[in-house]
A and B are shown apart, each in its own frame.
Chain A
Amino acid sequence: MAKILSVDDSRAIRAMISKEVRALGVDVDEAEDGEQGLARVEECNYDLILLDVTMPVLDGPGMLAKLREMGNKTPVVMLTSESKKGIVSTVMKLGIDDYILKPFKPDELAAKVKKVLKLGAGGPSASAVVSGAQAPVAASAAPAPAAAAPVQGDSATTGRQFVDLMVIDDMENVAKKLRGMIPQHMSLGSATNGFAAIAACRERVYRVVLIDFDIPDVNCAALVGQLRSLQPHAAFLSLALKTMKNAEEDARKQGFDGVVYKPFDPSAIEDFLLQYFDNQDLVTLEDNVIKLGRFAGRDDRLDRYFQRARKLCEDSVGKLAAACFEDAIVDLTHLPPRMDRVPSLVLSIIKNSQDMGLAVKLVAPAEIKSILASFADTNSVPCYSALSEAVA
């Protein structure tokens, strides 16, 4: 049986690696720093070493250098959160076979271990993302940005409940106030101190965590650091007073991704929801009328609005076809009159409708009509000024 040495100062990471590697039928030994790692290597011949970079006593590059000095040529895969080219380049020169960036997916670990050990193809292991410190959290097919939406069913597979928002503020009213300003279907958790926040973050998966910038007796930067290791895919935003000077800059220094100001302003919350949850009622469907909602965010989010609108319109056209409607009325009254985006959206709706065998009627104000009239592919679509005219 092949044998691997896992060298990492995090017990949680070592445990996770051991579990995944044993599932491949490979034996594992563990060491918590480079010095212990070298001692293990002297006692036993390993087929592969999985090596962290930053560790106390002796770090990964230090252990690797000593290992190669000793003439030991055991294959090494770096498994680290270090991505600086200078450091990775140094360890590459010392001789590594591959590299895995934390947080990592067990599938990636399994594939790279099998490649180095030249093991045959086996079934993939559990598909969770392993964080830099603790338990598995939500996974997605593509590498996920901070606050990316977990794919459906994630919470079920990981055993941790998924929650949209977490508010950490010593004033209970803050969470209550926010609860009243976000859509009913969104879930919100809250904590009034650091201990409760850490406990909650161990038990659940959050998409966005809002933390009061000034909780009594709490070092905000340290708390954010701890919570980030438990919630590597969440966005962390600071809750700051409007009167606070340089709030954005201070928040970034403390490790936050941004700021939400108190007291809450409805338009700012709407903007926040659009940025992190895409939760505007962009498209509504009533009978055979597809109605596009207003764009309420900042200009730099316009692209996202149009992308979402396009996708939701496509879904709506599919529903109309399934319900045996013969035509679709698309109400563009509230659509931003952008010449660079409107024609493409309308063309996509027309094409989808044609594919589904539906005729299309548009309802649009003069500005949008003018834009559509200037395009050969859209100027022949019936376009009405009012919904009542289109329905008649």
Chain B
Amino acid sequence: MSSDAATEDALAEQLERILLKRVEADNVPLPTLPAVSARALHLINDPRAQLKQVAAAIEVDPLLGAQLLRLASSAAHGGGGLHSMEQAMNRLGVQRVKSLLVEASTKKLFRSKDERIQTACIGLWEHSRAVAVLARDVAALVGNTETEGIYLAGLLHDVGKPILAGVLLEAERAIYKPGGTWISATSWVNTIQKRHRKIGVALAEKWRLPSAVAATIADCAEFNPADRTSPGNFVCFANALSKIHSVCPGDYALDDAQALVMVGRSLLGLQDDVIARLTDGLKERVRVDWD
């Protein structure tokens, strides 16, 4: 091993120690749910609140409002002819609106002023969307009705990564000496890979998302054969499927992903042609414009 590599390893280890200490001490700053989404979600869950109040809460954020109107006006939801946010919400349904509010809030976590993190985050967000879409589609295919919850779990399964990336960057800056060595992107990814789930679970709990979402983030690394249609199984399968279709940034164990897809096909009773249809054009479907 070269001396540069040894120094880098030592730096990576030092960073991981700092990170681990902060994770164990629950000292990782978790972002709060943006105020507009928090208010709207609160109103949706309040039986006394009226739809127009929810609509008014969403309209406070014009960008969010425009996203909802755009989706509700899409061909999939009946095309144009919408005159108000209330009509858009009626068309989308409350569960879909809830998912959109969480999705819009989560997307903000995948943005960073740091160029290195931002580059990684774009790929990670597209991967998260791919997992969410695939998990929801597979769940619907095998008759699971909790598809919106599964979509959210897929979307959030890696949400701990950008949060940890920010913490890691902060730690790296603290120990970096001018002229010294920076750790490689691989070491970054590996360090984050090991610790991100705990942070993802904590965020889901802080945002008061359904308990199944947090449980799925925690348990989606392996299949649970005792409960074939558990949300974690759909997310686990979708995660592996998106990896073997290269909709995932960084280094990952392709062998493990292929093994999980092979097991998942049998576990969920999916035929190859169905999987091919589900993944057709996946990369293009989840590509995001960072407006």
Contact = CB atoms under 8 A, between A and B. Distances in A.
B256 to A, nearest CB: 5
A2 interface: no
Interface in B139-188: 142-143, 145-146
B45 A101 contact: no
Interface in B216-239: 222-223, 225-230
Contact of B222 (A85, A143, A336, A375): A85
Nearest to B143: A142
Given A340-B94, A344-B93, A85 B47 contact: no
Contacts of B269: 105, 108, 142-143
B225 A99 contact: no
Question: Interface residue tally of chain B, by bracket?
Answer: 35 or more
A377 B267 CA distance: 42
B255 A93 contact: yes
Contacts of A92: 255, 258-259, 262
A88 B263 contact: yes
A231 to B, nearest CB: 13
B98 interface: yes
B64 interface: no
B268 A143 contact: yes
Contact of A339 (B46, B143, B230, B268): B46
Interface residues of A, number: 41
B223 to A, nearest CB: 5
A107 B259 CA distance: 22
Interface stretch (A152-160, A164-172, A272-280, A366-374): A366-374
B94 A99 contact: no
Interface string B231-273: 0000000000000000000000101101110110111110000
B199 interface: no
Contact of B98 (A88, A144, A340, A370): A340
A83 B222 contact: yes
Contact of A85 (B263, B266, B267, B268): B263
A374 B50 contact: yes
Interface string A118-129: 000000000000
B44 interface: yes
B256 A143 contact: no
B194 interface: no
Contact of A101 (B49, B211, B263): B263
Contact of A84 (B47, B87, B222, B265): B222
Which of B94, B143, B225, B262 neighbours the largest number of chain A CB atoms within 10 Å of its CB?
B262
A339 B47 contact: yes
A340 B95 contact: yes
A142 B142 CA distance: 6
B94 A83 contact: no
B286 interface: no
B90 interface: yes
11 contacts: A89-B253, A89-B258, A92-B258, A99-B265, A104-B266, A142-B143, A143-B142, A146-B227, A339-B44, A373-B50, A376-B90
